[in-house]
Amino acid sequence: MLRPKYLKRAKLLRKGVRKFLSYKKDLLSPQDNEEIEKKLEDFEKAISEKDKERIKERAKELTSICEKTIKPPRNPAIRENLEVIFVAIIIALGIRSYCVQPFRIPTGSMQPTLNGIICNVHDSDRDAKYSKPSIIRTVWDKFSQGRTYVDFTIPKGSEIEKFQEVTKFKFFTSTWIHFKDKNTEPIKVGVPLKNLFQEKNRGGLGLRSALNIGRSINFSGGEMGSHWVDGNHLPIEKDFVLRGYCDTGDQVLVNKMSYHFRRPNRGEVFVFNTKGIMGIGGGMKSQHYIKRLCGVPGDELEIRQNGGPLYVGGRPASEPGIVRVSEEYDGYTLTRRMPGSADRMGLNKISLKERQYFALGDNSDDSADSRMWGTVPEQNLLGPGLMVYWPFEHWGRIR
Residues 292 and 374 in one domain: yes
- If one counts the domains in the chain, the total is 3
Residues 260 and 386 in one domain: yes
Evaluate whether residue 80 is within a structural domain: no
Question: Containing H/E element for 119?
Answer: strand 118-121
More confident residue, 145 or 112: 112
As a whole number, mean pLDDT of residues 160-169 equals 88
Residues 274 and 182 in one domain: no
Q: Model's pTM, two decimal places?
A: 0.64
Instruction: Give the residue from 42, 55, 194, 45 showing the smallest Cα distance to 118.
Output: 194
Tens of pLDDT, residue by residue over 288-325, are: 899 999 999 999 999 999 999 999 999 999 999 999 99
Give the pLDDT of residue 70.
67
Which of 98-102, 191-195, 236-240, 292-296 tops mean pLDDT? Answer: 292-296
Q: Above pLDDT 70, what percent of the chain?
A: 84
Tens of pLDDT, residue by residue over 246-275, are: 888 888 999 998 998 999 999 999 999 998
Evaluate whether residue 24 is within a structural domain: yes
Residues 148 and 230 in one domain: yes
Give the sign of the dihedral formed by CA 179, CA 184, CA 190, CA 196.
negative
C-beta neighbour count of 297 within 10 angstroms = 16
Evaluate whether residue 360 is within a structural domain: yes
CATH of the domain at 11: 1.20.1270
Residue where one domain finishes, among candidates 222, 247, 272: 247
Q: Distance of CA 349 to CAs 2, 301, 305, 335, 344, Å? A: 83, 6, 11, 10, 11
Polymer length of the chain: 399
Evaluate whether residue 100 is within a structural domain: no
Residues 228 and 269 in one domain: no
Give the pLDDT of residue 2.
60
Instruction: Give the residue from 142, 146, 149 showing the smallest Cα distance to 120.
Output: 149
Q: Above pLDDT 90, what percent of the chain?
A: 35
CA–CA separation, 21 and 37 (whole Å) = 9
Find out whether 272 and 377 touch, Cβ atoms under 8 Å: no
Give the pLDDT of residue 43.
81
Tens of pLDDT, residue by residue over 15-50, are: 887 887 777 777 777 888 888 888 888 888 888 888
Residues 243 and 256 in one domain: no
Residue where one domain finishes, among candidates 247, 280, 303: 247
Ranges 3-17, 220-234, 298-312: which has the least confidence: 220-234
Q: What does pLDDT average to over the chain?
A: 83
CATH of the domain at 302: 2.10.109.10
Instruction: Say if residue 73's pLDDT is above 70.
Output: no
Evaluate whether residue 85 is within a structural domain: no
Residue where one domain finishes, among candidates 215, 247, 279: 247
Tens of pLDDT, residue by residue over 52-64, are: 888 888 888 888 8
Residues 275 and 351 in one domain: yes
CA–CA separation, 276 and 204 (whole Å) = 30
Tens of pLDDT, residue by residue over 344-392, are: 445 788 999 999 999 999 999 888 899 999 999 999 999 999 999 888 8
Evaluate whether residue 374 is within a structural domain: yes
CA–CA separation, 197 and 163 (whole Å) = 10
Residues 238 and 345 in one domain: no
Residues 363 and 300 in one domain: yes
Instruction: Say if residue 244's pLDDT is above 80.
Output: yes
Give the pLDDT of residue 204.
86
Tens of pLDDT, residue by residue over 168-223, are: 876 678 899 999 998 999 999 988 888 898 887 677 898 998 899 875 544 443 44
- Return the DSSP state at 308: B
Range of the domain at 12: 5-69
Residues 277 and 325 in one domain: yes
The pLDDT confidence band at residue 340, using thresholds 50, 70 and 90, is: very low
As a whole number, mean pLDDT of residues 68-97 equals 62
Residues 271 and 367 in one domain: yes
CA–CA separation, 380 and 286 (whole Å) = 10
Evaluate whether residue 86 is within a structural domain: no
Residues 236 and 276 in one domain: no
Evaluate whether residue 79 is within a structural domain: no
More confident residue, 381 or 282: 381
CA–CA separation, 259 and 213 (whole Å) = 45
DSSP 183-231: TSPPEEESS-HHHHHS-GGGTS--HHHHHT--S-----TT-TTEEE-TT
CA–CA separation, 211 and 232 (whole Å) = 9
